[in-house]
């Protein structure tokens, strides 16, 4: 039981670190005015990419933790 909380804590810590690493700390400078084009382009693309990457890393770590826990679980013949 102690190992489960340890692994969950590490996963949560990794998610927080990953999320903070990919968030924008300094806002980008405003684009120069372009009177011929009214479309501002994609907004928040870098932040969305960072969030998606953080989610992907979290999912991969969770998958690895589940596989590790299943591998470490005692077989049914060992329990009885």
pLDDT in tens, the chain (80 residues): 777 777 878 887 777 776 666 665 666 777 776 666 555 555 555 666 677 777 888 888 888 888 888 888 776 666 65
Asked if 14 contacts 56 with a C-beta cutoff of 8 angstroms, the reply is no
In residues, how long is the chain? 80
Task: Give the pLDDT score at 24.
Answer: 55
Question: What are all long-range contacts of 58-65, with beta carbons under 8 Å and residues at least 24 apart?
Answer: 58/11, 58/14, 58/15, 58/18, 61/11, 61/14, 61/15, 62/11, 65/7, 65/8, 65/11
Asked if 15 contacts 54 with a C-beta cutoff of 8 angstroms, the reply is yes
């Amino acid at each position: 039981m102690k190992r489960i909380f340890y692994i969950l804590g590490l996963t949560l810590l990794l998610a927080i670190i990953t999320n903070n690493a990919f968030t924008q700390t300094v806002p980008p400078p405003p684009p120069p005015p372009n009177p011929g084009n009214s479309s501002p382009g994609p907004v928040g693309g870098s932040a969305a990419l960072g969030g998606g990457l953080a989610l992907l890393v979290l999912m991969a770590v969770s998958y690895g933790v589940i596989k590790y826990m299943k591998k470490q679980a005692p077989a049914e013949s060992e329990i009885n």
